[in-house]
Amino acid sequence: MNDLGVYVDHYGLPARDRGQPRPQLARPSPSRELAARTRGELRRRLRGRRLAYLDNMFPWERSGFRYHEALALHELAPDTLFFSLWEMTDAFPAPVHPLARFPLLAPAAGVTDAYGVFQLFLEGVCGLRPSGGAPPDAFEGPDLSDVLARCGIRLHGSIYPGGGFTPSPEGIARSRRLAQRLDSTFSYVPEVLAGVPEAIAVAQAFTATGFYAETTARWRSPAPFVCLFAADDPPRKGLDVALAAFAQLDRDAFHLHVVGPHEHRRAELPERLATFHGWLSPSELRALHERVHVLVSPVSAEAPEGGGMVDGFPTQAAADAVSSGCLLVSANPAHDHRVLEPGVHYVDCAADPHALREALRALAADMPGTQRLAVTGTARLRERMDVRRGAAEKLAHMGFAVSGH
């Protein structure tokens, strides 16, 4: 992925955004930079600390937790400045500035702290050059290390599953190098917390429970038993498993909704058994949740030669669906039971077509029990994984006063 065209093809962004050249950092003249820093210093003295949120593609509602965490930061720290490397057009309640102009805008605005997520993006921002001499990956952040150092801007970051992180010895070594460049390193990943001395443990809280509010209408319509698969297209997400499981299910008793870039696989299941939606907006997906009994997530860990990626548990799509009241039926290759316990809050099911098929049949045959399990899982998730809780916790670690949290 060395240009935006490749990146957006993978994530289903509009054709008009393809082929855009990588933005280049603004290089202000020494006199202009000095004037900006002088204005910023005056603002710092008068108004105190100010945060900048940095991202490679923002605002982008489909980015899930990143979009909703940014909303939470805007609510909790309203003067936060938002920056994006690539220009996006999704709505957001605050201006989003080009990250290429950070060297000029941030000092003048009195930015004292900056925050971003994901290993690969943060490595670029810190000047670690993860791409080496090759063209930078579209996910890699621009090198802001000079301006951060000159202006005394502290950099904070979260290392999460995905985004270039792998729980391999090499991946942990990269995380250690990154953490040495960051002023605060946040994570809930066990391997990071165990292998990176600087890492600060934070709650696994990234679901917009206010947006994905619990609904119960689904339980008044027990037939057909409605399931949802919502994910991108890497094999580890488990679409092959889901389609194989449903191929042997009664088309009158079950229905599968498939969300993501999977329309080309529509012919693999009859229309009566499955609906392929393509990408949906968060609002459209939330409306679909109201009709869904179960979200299926037959995820697996990639082999080391494939990158060794392991998704966090639950995935963002799964957490959003559970917050809405759906029951989660999922594999859990990382054996992560910190938030959701198998048999108590969700159904743990191997990423295998036969196992998934039999689990769904058993759940459909006991709708009262299925509903009780779903209600328990939803209550647990909404209690523990609200994104505002996570945003407030990180702001507190950065030294920002957050009233009411």
Task: Please report, for the domain that includes residue 300, its CATH number.
Answer: 3.40.50.2000
Are residue 185 and residue 240 in the same domain, yes or no?
no
What pTM does this model have? 0.84
Distance CA 191, CA 218 (A): 38
Alpha-helical regions (H) of 230-352 = 239-246, 282-289, 316-323
- Check whether 210 has a pLDDT greater than 60: yes
pLDDT mean across residues, the chain: 89
Is residue 68 assigned to a domain?
A: yes
Q: Quick one: pLDDT band at residue 4, thresholds 50, 70, 90? A: very low
Predicted pLDDT of residue 65: 87
**Tell me: the pLDDT tens digits for 161-198?**
888 898 889 999 999 999 999 999 999 999 999 999 99
Are residue 200 and residue 265 in the same domain, yes or no?
no
Are residue 13 and residue 66 in the same domain, yes or no?
yes
What torsion do the CA atoms of 326, 394, 125, 111 make, to the nearest 10 degrees? Answer: 130
Structural domain of 278: 217-384
Q: Quick one: pLDDT band at residue 17, thresholds 50, 70, 90? A: very low
**Tell me: the pLDDT tens digits for 235-284?**
999 999 999 999 999 999 999 999 999 999 999 999 999 999 999 989 99
Are residue 72 and residue 166 in the same domain, yes or no?
yes
**Tell me: the pLDDT tens digits for 273-325?**
999 999 998 999 999 999 999 999 999 987 665 556 678 899 999 999 999 99
Q: What is the CA radius of gyration of the chain?
A: 22
Question: How far from each other are the two terminal CA atoms of the chain, in whole angstroms?
Answer: 40
Q: Count H helices, E strands: the chain? A: 14, 13
Are residue 307 and residue 380 in the same domain, yes or no?
yes
Are residue 369 and residue 391 in the same domain, yes or no?
no
- Check whether 10 has a pLDDT greater than 60: no
Q: How many domains does the chain have?
A: 2
